[in-house]
Every structure is written in C-alpha cells, then in structure tokens.
Amino acid sequence: MIVLHARPSPGFREAVDTIFGPGTVVHVDEATPLDDVASDITALLHVLTPVTSEFIASAPRLKLIQKLGVGVNTIALDAARDHGVAVCNMPGTNSQAVAEMALSLMMAVLRRTCFFDARTRAGEGWTADPSELDAVGEIAGRTVGLVGFGHSAQRLAPVLAALGAKVVYTARSPRDVPYDFLPLDRLVADSDIVSLHIPLTDETRANVDPFAMKKGAVLVNTARGELVDEAQLVEALSTGHLRGAGLDVFAEEPLPRGHPLLGLPNAVLAPHIAWLTPETLVRSLTVAQENCRRLAVGEPLLHQVV
C-alpha cells in the first residue's frame, strides 16, 4: 500500500491519480494518525507531518519513506535505518518555486505590499500618513546575502543580480560563480537582505542571529523556522532593529493563534507553501512514482538519504 499523508488540494489529488494511476495511492489527511494503515503500508509519501520512530516501529511492511521535497528533518532517520526503511528526498524539484517565493517575500517586505493592500481595501490608501512611504525600498543597490548555495539559491542569484543587487553567499566551500563568497558571520553583518537556503541540522539550528544583522536589514526564510531564534526575531522586528521579515516557515507549524509574529506589521507571513505549486507537484510525484516502481522491482532508489 502506498499512502500519501497530507491534506491535498483537488489539483494535488488529480496529479497523484494521473501519475500513479487512479486508486493506487491511499490518501490520509495530515491531521489523522496513520495507525489504521500502519500494518499494511509499504511506501509513505511524506510532506510535513513528522514520521516518528514509534510509527516506523509499528509498520512492519514499510520499506520506503519518500519525502516530497528536500528536508528530511521531520523523519526519524535513525529509526528508519534501524528498521531497514529507505528514506529518499528529491533535490531540485521545488527549487524554482522556492526561489520565486523568496524573491516575492523580499519584494513584499521592501514595498510593504501587505500594509498598503490592507489600507487600500479599507479606503485609506490615498489618505494614509505620507511618512509610511519613507519605509519602502528597492532591491537594486542592496546587498543580498544567500545563506546556502543549493538549487534554489542558484536560481535566485542571477535574478537578483539582474535587478541590480550585489549578491554574496556562504556555503560549505566557495563555488565557481560570479558572486562573492563570505563566511556566515560576515555575510549576516554586511547584507541588507539575508535569505536562508540551508537544511536544518544540529549545526545550523539557530545559527542566524537577527541582532547580528545590520540595523534596517530584512530577513527572508523559506527554509526552516528553527534556523533562527524566533523569540530574538520577534524582538528584532518589534524594536525596529530589522526593517522586516518575509517568513514561510516557523519553529512551530501551524503558527499558533496569538503568536507575536501575527501582530507585527513588518512581517510578511505564509503557511510553508514556498515549495507548493502545481509544477512542483508534477515534478515531485514523478520522482516518487519512479522510486515506488524501483522499490517494487528491487532497483536502486533515486536520491536515497538512508
């Protein structure tokens, strides 16, 4: 049995049936535990709901956890390894969507899109305090620091450069690219916009300090919420140390009601959907279907992590 544990849109469901065949994949809502299918499941199509060691131990037929995306921090990798369960991801399938979302968040913060949208809808767009316009800005002329230089950052960098930004980056090692390589601490300190494009690991957790960023800088995060200390980020935004932030990811998801980020007008927020476009789904489900086919016939799996 192949199970998709998610809350798919109608288009998502249609893509699953088109690529796998109607009825091939069992849909289980992400809010529903997998207990009822644990004994029969052989392949799990995983989105965001954590795959725990307890679930893996309760699923004797499970042979594959296929991440629809890149980050595998929500999967109990050691338990998968101990139980002989393969874990695969799919680097590159969502890179275009994530790069475009990062760019849109940068622009939304700099041009205060949400602020002026709300004012315009309320009939106040032309009567708002003119000083509000002093807080907008352009990407051109700013230094944009890319933390990580994987597929999404590589797509984003030339677009930013074409808009007139100075692009700098940090990675495990310098690349042969026309952008300056900087160590993380210097990149964070020197950049007008810091955009995160790295996985969450023990080494990267909370390693971007909002108060180490330039006063008036912008933080964009389409990677993982825990890369930044969220309490520090709230304080940096509340006190005006940061101009703003564009956030698609959070330490706790869904973001709880009453969370202080929800009340900050200089934060542009999205519900972890940077990766999620119809085009990404087709690319992702094609890889997932191929790995399920390979699993069935005993061929090597694509992008195996464990």
Is 253 an annotated catalytic residue?
yes
**Which residue in the list 253, 259, 290, 294 is annotated as catalytic?**
253
Is 112 an annotated catalytic residue?
no
Strands 180-181 and 166-170: parallel
Q: What are phi and psi of 168, to 5 degrees?
A: -125, 160
Question: Look-up: residue for tokens 């874990």?
Answer: 87
User: Would you call the peptide bond into 178 cis, given omega within 30 degrees of 0 as the criterion?
Assistant: no
Cβ–Cβ under 8 Å, residues 209 and 139: no
Is 272 an annotated catalytic residue?
yes
- SS3 category, 156: helix
**Which residue in the list 151, 224, 243, 283 is annotated as catalytic?**
224
Give the residue among 304, 300, 233 at the shortest CA–CA distance from 267: 233
Secondary structure of 58-75 as H, E, C letters? CCCCCCEEEECCCCCCCE
Residues in Cβ contact with 222 at an 8 Å cutoff, skipping those fewer than 6 apart? 98, 101, 102, 105, 152, 195, 196, 197, 248, 249, 274
Distance CA 124, CA 122 (A): 5
Q: Which residues are catalytic?
A: 224, 253, 272
